[in-house]
């Protein structure tokens, strides 16, 4: 269990760090293996440029979390396969089937499958390019990147798992010297964090991220946003809009098996990428 209830804060440091996978496989938008590339640009902020409060967590009194939690945010997705008209994703649409998650590839993006020591897939990360105007009227060029790390978990039929977990995650961020705050996002309450990192040049800095959570029938889909899309909450910003569309386009396959709330829904390598016997 890597996203479980009542997990101690010391053991629940940033899921991308405390549960850091040992390796990854990178797949391009056409579902073909490619060499792993560097981490997304602009994900770390120099320590001297970051101002945080002493507590590291925004007072919930300033945010009506109860109303946000009670609102249905999935009208445009993400959906469960049972909620789709054909019960399964369109077989003719380009999709990457990871078992519990079915992901629509984004042109020009990379898909990195993060695995643990047991070679089990624990998350899927989409790395999306951010384009800017080309020089002297040339074609738009890639100026930065954003990333969306995806994992799905079992949840109670009654929902409410996200409300239980976010305080623990916020406390864990504060314990490692970072900060976290709750804010209104495209899926209700989102968690924005600044976690301490060492930059490629050896300097100490903070990595900003936004955590989106969508709760469906007995499942919870978590998306952690890094890079350019993590430093603005303007949904019309092209960097945010592309990540938001990718998150909404995810299809969750919960399955019927009994699982404890917070257990990771198992993912598998796409059939066409399995090694031949």
pLDDT per residue over 226-237, tens digit each? 999 999 888 989
Cβ pair 130, 143 in contact under 8 A: yes
* Backbone angle region of 71, left / alpha / beta, with phi > 0 → left and psi within -120 to 50 → alpha: beta
Residue 147 lies in a domain: yes
- Whose tokens are 């938008």? That residue is 29
Residue 54 lies in a domain: yes
Higher per-residue confidence, 24 vs 180: 180
* Cα–Cα dist 11/180, whole Å: 17
Higher per-residue confidence, 36 vs 244: 244
Cβ pair 176, 195 in contact under 8 A: yes
Residue 262 lies in a domain: no
Report the number of distinct structural domains present in the chain. Answer: 1
Cβ pair 45, 194 in contact under 8 A: yes
Q: Which residue range forms the structural domain that includes residue 243?
A: 9-251
Give mean pLDDT, residues 242-259.
Answer: 93
Residue 246 lies in a domain: yes
The angle at the Cα of 148, spanning 17 to 175, to the nearest 5 degrees, equals 30
Give mean pLDDT, residues 234-248.
Answer: 92
* Percentage above 70 pLDDT, the chain: 70
Give mean pLDDT, residues 4-9.
Answer: 43
Residue 275 lies in a domain: no
Q: What is the pLDDT of residue 76?
A: 87
Tell whether the model's pLDDT for residue 250 goes beyond 90. Answer: yes
What token pair was written down for 252?
A: 């969750």
What token pair was written down for 98?
A: 């990871």
What token pair was written down for 174?
A: 């504060």
Q: What is the pLDDT of residue 34?
A: 33
Residue 102 lies in a domain: yes
Higher per-residue confidence, 190 vs 271: 190
Residue 2 lies in a domain: no
What token pair was written down for 265?
A: 């829904």
Residue 256 lies in a domain: no
Q: What is the pLDDT of residue 63?
A: 84
Mean of all residue pLDDT scores within the chain:
78
* Signed CA dihedral, 148, 82, 119, 4: sign only: positive
Cβ pair 216, 80 in contact under 8 A: yes
270 phi and psi angles, rounded to 5 deg: -55, 145
> Does the reported pTM lie above 0.85?
no
* Cα–Cα dist 6/164, whole Å: 8
Cβ pair 81, 97 in contact under 8 A: no
Q: Tell me the sheet residues that pair with 216.
A: 219
């Amino acid at each position: 269990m890597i996203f479980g209830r009542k997990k101690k804060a010391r053991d629940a440091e940033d899921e991308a760090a405390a549960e850091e996978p040992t390796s990854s496989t990178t797949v391009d938008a056409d579902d073909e293996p490619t060499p792993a590339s560097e981490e997304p640009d602009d994900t770390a902020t120099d320590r001297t440029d970051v101002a945080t409060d002493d507590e590291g967590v925004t007072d919930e009194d300033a945010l009506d979390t109860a109303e946000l939690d009670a609102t249905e945010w999935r009208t445009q997705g993400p959906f469960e396969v049972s909620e789709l008209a054909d019960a399964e994703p369109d077989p003719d649409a380009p999709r990457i089937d990871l078992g519990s998650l079915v992901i629509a590839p984004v042109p020009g993006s990379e898909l990195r499958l993060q695995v643990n020591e047991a070679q089990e897939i624990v998350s899927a990360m989409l790395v999306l390019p951010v384009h800017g105007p080309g020089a002297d009227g040339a074609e738009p060029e890639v100026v930065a990147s954003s990333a969306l790390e995806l994992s799905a978990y079992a949840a109670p039929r009654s929902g409410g798992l996200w409300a239980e977990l976010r305080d623990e995650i916020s406390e864990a961020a504060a314990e490692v010297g970072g900060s976290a705050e709750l804010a209104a996002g495209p899926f209700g309450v989102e968690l924005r964090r600044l976690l301490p990192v060492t930059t490629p040049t050896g300097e100490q800095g903070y990595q900003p991220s936004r955590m989106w959570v969508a709760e469906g029938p007995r499942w919870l889909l978590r998306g952690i946003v890094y890079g350019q899309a993590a430093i603005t909450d303007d949904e019309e910003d092209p960097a945010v809009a592309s990540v938001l569309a990718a998150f909404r386009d995810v299809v969750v396959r919960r399955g019927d098996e009994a699982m404890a709330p917070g257990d990771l829904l198992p993912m598998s390598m796409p059939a066409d990428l399995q090694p031949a016997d």
